[in-house]
A and B are shown apart, each in its own frame.
Chain A
Amino acid sequence: MYVAVKGGEKAIDNAHALMRTQRRGDTAIAELSVDQIRQQLPLAVDRVMNEGSVYDPELAALALKQASGDAVEAIFLLRAYRTTLPRFGYSEPLDTEQMQIERRISGTFKDLPGGQILGSTYDYTHRLLDFSLLAAGEAEVAPEEANALSEALAAGNSCPRVLELLNREGLIEQSRESGQDDQVPRDLTREPVNYPAERAVRLQNLIRGDEGFLLSLSYASMRGYGDSHPFSGEMRTGRVSVELVPEELGFPIEVGEVLLTESEMVNQFHGSKDLPPQFTRGYGIAFGRAERKAMSVALVERALRAEELGEEVLYPTQDQEFVLSHTDCVSANGFVSHLKLPHYVDFQSELEMIRRLRKEQGARTESTTQKEADA
């Protein structure tokens, strides 16, 4: 009804009040604290930090609480907050070789320097609902030896990356031309993406990208819609220190540490006239314990290198513009959900057009029928 679209002001206030009530649920049940979310739903927190592009578990947990657990809404909240933060500086490149490792898995070598470290994982759990969690029982305590091991690891020395081992033999491509400096990457939150986008921009885009979308794209690329035949060279999770060079000091100081998951994929590449056959790389990294995300990024990242590696671009997974324009869950959600906004005017325009066309067609058919009858 026409009247229903009026009084928008009041309707919005009421809708928001209803939403807050619904979010709180039954008030007889204790309210969830931000600390509880941070401690007990850490994987959800990690996803929000990744796609929200802010390393702050507390704010990510707050966003999850405010969003009733909707990851996309929580990511949006964190992004909108992020925009308003001033830039104090840019960190030095992180050195993941110096990671304090809590988990490290290689799919390419049975054993290797630093060893395989299973750490904490869902991988080998049988997915049977644990009904003991229904009852509020005491938390299970990890055995002494597991704790002791993980502490020892965390205090351990640097651990070379698997791909570096291959690199020493020259079996894998250089991640950059020798003698070439690291290029200062563009910041895609400050500058629009231009196509073709350089690798650093592509990686930024993917790391902020929707986990589900990237997972599906990497799945597609492995199923033949893309030339991805990878091995998981290494996947490692742990803490890495973040360093900054303050203008007035001129040397790096540690400003904190972040928990990261890094994935390096090894892909076959047949070489060319100028290059002997060697493996190629796909790289992914993510905040927190986010293996699915880091691996998906590495797979899609590799698929998107098709053009620079001289491979034929045949599938959407290899198409920069297709992939990079559609990774962002905040944009995707906004555009899909904008269909909920009124489109009365556009629809009215289409109605008018279709009625007119039908009327004209009707007139044409009638006159044809008349002519036939006359004949």
Chain B
Amino acid sequence: MSTATGYNFAYLDEQSKRMIRRAILKGVAIPGYQVPFGGREMPLPHGWGTGGMQVTASVIGETDKLKVIDQGADDTTNAVSIRRFFAHTAGVETTEQTADATLIQTRHRIPERPLQADQILIYQVPIPEPLRFIEPRESETRKMHALSEYGAMQVKLYEDVARFGHIATSYDYPVMVNNRYMMDPSPIPKFDNPKMSMMPALQLFGAGFEKRIYAVPPFTQVESLDFDDHPFEVQSWDEACAICGSDHSFLDEVITDDNGSKMFVCSDTDYCRERVEQGFVGTAADLPIADLSIAEVETN
């Protein structure tokens, strides 16, 4: 039992953890394939990270250091809530620094700082089936995966090209893993897709209410779907981060007044902090708003 909670270490009972651990091992052995598992009810709503949490609860141990991000930030409410859950039920150390973390649970982003061997990145996944909006039936999509029949997705992407001149999917952009399974990378921006390929860290994906776990082992090929004449490309901004001046990170647009004035800041708050500490500055560095946004330190 963990400290004072009356629940097992990391909330889940041991038998549930074993079941999830076995599913994770199969997921790792078949990269990109969605392993059905007996998803448990968690004390947070489905869609709020219960899949990622079940994976984290099954993987985490006393010596781990956990980082939780939502939209790239450690301080968004849901990230705070999940981090607290594990601090409370597992008594583990938490961190906001990407470099320090052994486990990172994330919603919608991959940190800007490249991940290292022996780190584990755990994605929260709402809908694990990349083909779901093409074919809503599980019995059908399962056959499509079995036969590697992915033409329907190519058609869907090509319809975009015909209509807009581009593939118009900007996040949740489908990938092929190890040249075999089409996989939903979770709703990360396509900006993050290239980071998935040949990443030294292990990537685990948990979908709570769809009860699926999947994985990308370290150093595994992950390719974003595209066409020869319309190659995959990532977002870019004309602006740089107003706080740290970064012109190569994913930027959040922030409306600063009633007239719709805006500025752009790094979505990855830890990366931005690291750069400011290294002496990088952006155009808004002298504004109090910038100080506030990065100087807010978690008071635990």
Contact = CB atoms under 8 A, between A and B. Distances in A.
**Does A touch B (CB under 8 Å) in the complex?**
yes
Interface of A: 1-3, 5-12, 76, 79-80, 82-84, 86, 189-192, 194-196, 321-322, 325, 328, 330-331, 333-338, 341-346, 348-353, 356-357, 360
29 contacts: A2-B254, A3-B289, A5-B73, A5-B76, A8-B75, A12-B77, A12-B80, A80-B42, A84-B8, A192-B38, A195-B139, A321-B136, A322-B136, A331-B46, A331-B47, A333-B46, A334-B45, A336-B47, A337-B47, A337-B48, A341-B47, A342-B76, A345-B252, A346-B171, A346-B189, A349-B171, A349-B189, A349-B191, A352-B170
Contacts of A336: 47
Given A344-B267, A349-B191, A76 B45 contact: yes
A345 B237 CA distance: 14
Nearest to A83: B41
Given A12-B81, A86-B13, A344-B252, 4 more contacts: A1-B255, A194-B36, A330-B46, A345-B267
Nearest to A79: B41
B206 interface: no
Contacts of A190: 19, 38
A190 B36 CA distance: 11
A83 B168 CA distance: 41
A342 B49 CA distance: 13
Q: Chain B binding site: helix, strand, loop or mixed by DSSP?
A: loop
Contact of A6 (B36, B42, B45, B296): B296
Given A7-B296, A342-B70, A345-B252, A334 B79 contact: no
Among the interface residues A82, A345, A357, which one has the most CB atoms of the partner chain B within 10 A?
A345
A357 B164 contact: yes
B37 interface: yes
Interface size of B as a range: 35 or more
In the A-B complex, the 10 residue pairs with the smallest Cβ-Cβ separation, listed nearest first, are A334-B46, A334-B45, A338-B47, A349-B170, A80-B43, A8-B80, A335-B47, A192-B211, A192-B36, A331-B209
Interface in B232-265: 235, 237, 250-256, 265
Interface string B19-42: 100000000000000001111111
B166 A357 contact: yes
A13 to B, nearest CB: 10
Interface of B: 7-8, 11, 13, 16, 19, 36-43, 45-48, 50, 70-73, 75-81, 84, 107-109, 126, 136-139, 164-166, 168, 170-172, 187-191, 208-209, 211, 235, 237, 250-256, 265, 267, 289, 292-293, 296, 298-300
Contacts of B136: 321-322
A345 B109 contact: yes
Contact of A345 (B50, B80, B189, B296): B189
Contacts of B211: 192
B139 A8 contact: no
Contacts of A195: 137-139
A14 to B, nearest CB: 11
